[in-house]
C-alpha cells in the first residue's frame, strides 16, 4: 500500500516536471525573441533592473509557501541566467586558467551557460573587452584580508571601459586529491595565498606535510598523483574540472575572507535602487586639495564606501584616487556631488555604477 502511494506521488511529480519543462522551453523561446528585439535596437542583453524586478515579484508571491523566497530566488536566478544566455551567450574574459577563483566568480555572476575566456594576465582581460572579443571582463579588485589589487587599479586608470557589476565571492577553500584518504597526503600544492590562508588547518590536520607553491591554484592540479599522496588547495570548482575528490572542505583559517570583483564592459548600467558608483580623480598640488575634492560628498550626504590611492605610472610622486560611493551616478545627489568633485579635481573619470552585493545590504 505504501509503495503504491509513493509511486502515485512520484508519477504526479513526473507529470509536473514534464509540464514545467515545456513551460521553461516556452520561456526560453520568448527570451530569444526579446534578444532579437534588443539586437535590432542596440539594447544590452544584460538588464539587471528587470531581473531584480522578476526576483522581487516572485519572492513576494512566495510568502508562507512550501518554497521560501530564498529558495525561489535561487531557482529563478538560474532560470534567468539560462534564458539570458539563450538570448545571446555572454563572452566573459577572466583571469585563468579554468578553476581559479576568478572563474568561480564569473560563473556565479553569469551562470553555467556563459562563454568563458581565460586570460593569462589582467591586462589581457582589459584588451579582450576593449577590442570586442569579449562582451565583459571580470577582474579582482580587493580581498578582505590581502587588500587592494594594485595592478587592477593601474589598468582602471588607463581604460575607457565602464564598471557594470560587482561580484563578492566568499573564498572557500577545499583540500582535493585523487583519493579520499587524508592520511595518504604527503604533499600539498597551491598558490602561495591559499596555502597561507589554510596554514592553521594544515598545521592541525597535516602537521609536517610538504608545501609546494605553484603559479595558480589550477596549475597545482598538474602535480596530482593517482595514489593520493599529493593534494591541492583551491576553490571546490577545481574538483569539477579535474574529477577530484573533496578530501576536506572549508579549510580556510578565516571564514569571513572575501574577494570583491568588478565586471567591466562598454556601457553604463541602469539604476537598481541599491547601487554603488566608482570614479577616479587626481588633485592639484596644493594644501588640503583632497579634502576640498571630497567635501561635496559630505555636504550632499553621500556615503563614501572605498577610497584608495595609487601612484600615477607616468608621473612620479603623483597619485590617482579611486573612490566608491553609495548610489547610482544618475541619482540627483550623487550627480551633483560628483560634478562638484570634478570641478575641484585636476583630472576625473567616471568608471560607472553597479548593483551592490554586500551581505550587510541584502533585503530582509
The answer to whether residue 160 sits within a structural domain is yes
- For residue 73, is pLDDT > 90? no
112 pLDDT band (50/70/90 cuts)? low
Q: What is the 3-state secondary structure (H, E, C) of the chain?
A: CHHHHHHHHHHHHHHHHHHHHHHHHHHHHHHHHHHHHHHHCCCCCCCHHHHHHHHHHHHHHCCCCCCCHHHHHHHHHHHHHHHHHHHCCCEEEEECCCCCHHHHHHHHHHCCCCEEEEECCHHHHHHHHHCCCCCEEEEEEEECCCEECHHHHHHHCCCCCEEEEEEEEECCCEEEECCCCHHHCCEEEECHHHHHHCHHHHHHHCCCCEEEECCCCCHHHHHCCCCCCEEEEECCHHHHHHCCEEEEECCCCCCCCEEEEEEEECCCCCCCCCEEEEEEEECCCCCCHHHHHHHHHHHHCCCEEEEEEEECCCCCCCEEEEEEEECCCCCHHHHHHHHHHHHHCCEEEEEEEEECCCHHHCCC
In this structure, the answer to whether residues 115 and 262 fall within a common structural domain is yes
Cβ-based neighbours of 259, under 8 Å, separated by 6 or more: 101, 105, 140, 141, 142, 143, 144, 168, 169, 171
In this structure, the answer to whether residues 108 and 210 fall within a common structural domain is no
Domain boundary, last residue among 214, 249, 284 = 249
- For residue 72, is pLDDT > 90? no
- pLDDT for res 363: 35
In this structure, the answer to whether residues 263 and 126 fall within a common structural domain is yes
In this structure, the answer to whether residues 190 and 60 fall within a common structural domain is no
Domain boundary, last residue among 232, 267, 302 = 267
The answer to whether residue 23 sits within a structural domain is no
For residues 85-104, average pLDDT: 84
- pLDDT for res 329: 95
Peptide bond into 163 cis (omega under 30): no
Task: State the distance between the two ends of the chain, measured CA to CA, in whole angstroms.
Answer: 44
In this structure, the answer to whether residues 223 and 361 fall within a common structural domain is no
In this structure, the answer to whether residues 156 and 204 fall within a common structural domain is no
Total number of domains constituting the chain: 4
In this structure, the answer to whether residues 187 and 159 fall within a common structural domain is no
In this structure, the answer to whether residues 263 and 114 fall within a common structural domain is yes
Higher pLDDT, 88 or 8: 8
The answer to whether residue 4 sits within a structural domain is no
- pLDDT for res 364: 33
In this structure, the answer to whether residues 262 and 142 fall within a common structural domain is yes
pLDDT tens digits for range 208-219: 899 999 887 778
CATH code of the domain covering residue 320: 3.30.70.260
For residues 85-110, average pLDDT: 85
Cβ-based neighbours of 202, under 8 Å, separated by 6 or more: 188, 195, 209, 211, 251
Read off φ and ψ for residue 43, nearest 5 degrees.
-100, 135
pLDDT tens digits for range 144-183: 877 889 999 999 999 999 999 999 988 889 999 998 889 8
The answer to whether residue 24 sits within a structural domain is no
CATH code of the domain covering residue 113: 3.40.190.10
The answer to whether residue 229 sits within a structural domain is yes
Residue 337 domain boundaries = 271-364
The answer to whether residue 219 sits within a structural domain is yes
In this structure, the answer to whether residues 166 and 201 fall within a common structural domain is no
The answer to whether residue 17 sits within a structural domain is no
Question: What pTM was computed for the model?
Answer: 0.72
Least confident of 35-49, 302-316, 324-338: 35-49
- For residue 38, is pLDDT > 70? yes
Domain boundary, last residue among 62, 87, 112 = 87
In this structure, the answer to whether residues 280 and 360 fall within a common structural domain is yes
Q: Which residue has the cell 505504501?
A: 2
- For residue 263, is pLDDT > 90? yes
222 pLDDT band (50/70/90 cuts)? confident
The answer to whether residue 277 sits within a structural domain is yes
In this structure, the answer to whether residues 287 and 352 fall within a common structural domain is yes
Spatial distance between the Cα atoms of 90 and 44, rounded to a whole number of angstroms: 11
Amino acid at each position: 500500500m505504501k509503495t503504491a502511494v509513493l509511486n502515485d506521488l512520484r508519477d504526479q511529480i513526473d507529470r509536473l516536471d514534464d509540464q514545467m519543462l515545456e513551460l521553461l522551453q516556452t520561456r526560453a523561446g520568448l527570451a530569444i525573441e526579446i534578444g532579437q528585439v534588443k539586437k535590432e535596437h542596440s539594447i544590452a542583453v544584460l538588464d539587471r533592473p528587470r531581473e531584480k524586478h522578476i526576483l522581487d515579484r516572485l519572492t513576494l508571491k512566495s510568502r508562507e509557501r512550501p518554497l521560501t523566497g530564498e529558495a525561489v530566488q535561487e531557482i529563478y536566478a538560474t532560470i534567468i541566467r539560462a534564458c539570458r544566455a539563450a538570448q545571446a551567450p555572454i563572452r566573459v574574459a577572466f583571469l585563468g586558467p579554468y578553476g581559479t577563483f576568478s572563474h568561480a566568480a564569473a560563473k556565479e555572476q553569469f551562470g553555467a551557460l556563459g562563454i568563458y575566456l581565460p586570460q593569462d594576465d589582467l591586462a589581457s582581460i582589459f584588451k579582450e573587452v576593449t577590442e570586442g572579443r569579449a562582451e565583459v571582463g571580470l577582474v579582482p579588485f580587493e580581498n578582505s584580508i590581502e587588500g587592494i589589487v594594485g595592478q587592477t587599479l593601474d589598468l582602471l586608470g588607463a581604460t575607457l571601459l565602464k564598471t557594470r557589476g560587482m561580484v563578492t565571492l566568499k573564498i572557500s577553500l577545499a583540500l582535493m586529491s585523487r583519493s579520499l584518504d587524508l592520511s595518504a597526503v604527503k604533499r600539498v600544492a597551491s598558490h602561495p595565498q591559499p596555502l597561507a590562508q589554510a596554514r592553521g588547518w594544515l598545521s592541525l590536520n597535516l602537521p609536517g606535510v610538504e608545501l609546494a607553491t605553484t603559479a595558480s591554484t589550477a596549475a597545482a592540479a598538474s602535480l596530482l598523483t593517482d595514489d593520493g599522496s599529493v593534494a591541492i588547495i583551491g576553490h571546490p570548482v577545481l574538483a569539477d574540472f579535474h574529477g577530484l575528490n573533496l578530501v576536506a572542505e572549508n579549510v580556510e583559517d578565516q571564514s569571513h575572507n572575501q574577494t570583491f570583483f568588478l565586471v567591466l564592459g562598454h556601457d553604463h548600467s541602469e539604476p537598481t535602487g541599491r547601487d554603488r558608483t566608482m570614479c577616479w580623480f587626481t588633485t592639484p598640488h596644493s594644501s588640503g586639495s583632497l579634502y576640498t575634492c571630497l567635501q561635496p560628498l559630505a555636504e550632499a550626504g553621500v556615503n563614501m564606501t572605498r577610497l584608495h590611492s595609487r601612484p600615477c605610472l607616468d608621473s612620479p610622486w603623483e597619485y590617482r584616487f579611486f573612490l566608491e560611493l553609495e548610489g547610482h551616478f544618475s541619482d540627483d545627489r550623487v550627480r551633483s556631488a560628483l560634478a562638484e568633485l570634478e570641478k575641484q579635481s585636476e583630472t576625473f573619470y567616471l568608471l560607472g555604477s553597479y548593483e551592490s552585493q554586500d551581505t550587510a545590504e541584502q533585503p530582509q
